[in-house]
Structures are given as C-alpha cells and as structure tokens.
Amino acid sequence: MTTVTTPPRQRPAALLLTPAAEARIAALMAKAPEGTVGVKLSTPRRGCSGLAYSVDYVSEAKPLDERIETPGGTFFVDGASVLYLIGSTMDWVEDDFTAGFVFTNPNAKGTCGCGESFMV
C-alpha cells in the first residue's frame, strides 16, 4: 500500500489588499516609528453602528493576528476582527478632497449615515 502525502493548501488571506492599499502600506512603513513591525487593521467598537475600521502601527505581532506579507511590509489583521472581515477588500483612494482606506465588506449588514462605522 502506498501512502500519498499532499502538501497543505495555503489558506487564502482574510482580506484582499489592492495594489493601491499595498503602496500606501509601503509608504507608511517607510516613515514608521522605530520599533514598528507592521501596520494593523482592527475593528474596535465605536460609532453609530457599532464597529469601525482602525489602521495603526504595531510594535509587536500577537499570536492570533492574521499576517499578510506585502511588498512594502507586514500587514496584520487583528485576530478578534478576522470574522468581521473575511472576504473584504481594502483599497486606498485619493481624490481632490479626501484620502483614506476604503473597505468593501460583504459581512457588513449596514453602515451609519456618516460612513464611519458598520454592523455585522
């Protein structure tokens, strides 16, 4: 009897980063404070609808954080936020008046009127 061993499949990232988002992460990492290991997305409770997107520098990786390697540096997704973000796309958008990360989240059941928070 022959045993066939197949290598484990690589799990897809919880979040898709567009090339513009990856470029912005690279720009952030280029001017990051000393001791920074990456940029992290989390979904703290706040706003009218309950959850908001927060992107911050981090100085240490937590064991349950999702880790996404980008050309410009490591991007982390907070372990407690992953379930709210699976299948989402993160983009960086700039126009004449605003610039910021924009999220397309299939898990969001609604957003507040100002667009600052969402609910699942």
- Tell me the pLDDT tens digit for each residue of 5-24: 766 666 667 789 999 999 99
Q: What is the mean pLDDT of residues 69-98?
A: 91
Residue 98: what pLDDT? 87
Higher pLDDT residue, 113 or 4? Answer: 4
Radius of gyration of the chain (CA): 16
Report whether 89 contacts 18 (CB < 8 A): yes
Report whether 14 contacts 85 (CB < 8 A): yes
Q: What is the mean pLDDT of residues 52-60?
A: 92
Q: Six-digit token pair at 16?
A: 């898709």
Q: What is the mean pLDDT of residues 107-111?
A: 74
Report whether 29 contacts 73 (CB < 8 A): yes
Residues in the chain: 120
Residue 112 φ/ψ region, left for φ over 0, alpha for ψ in the -120 to 50 degree band, beta for the rest: beta
What's the rounded Cα separation, in Å, for the pair 97 and 24?
Answer: 17
> What's the predicted TM-score (pTM) here?
0.80
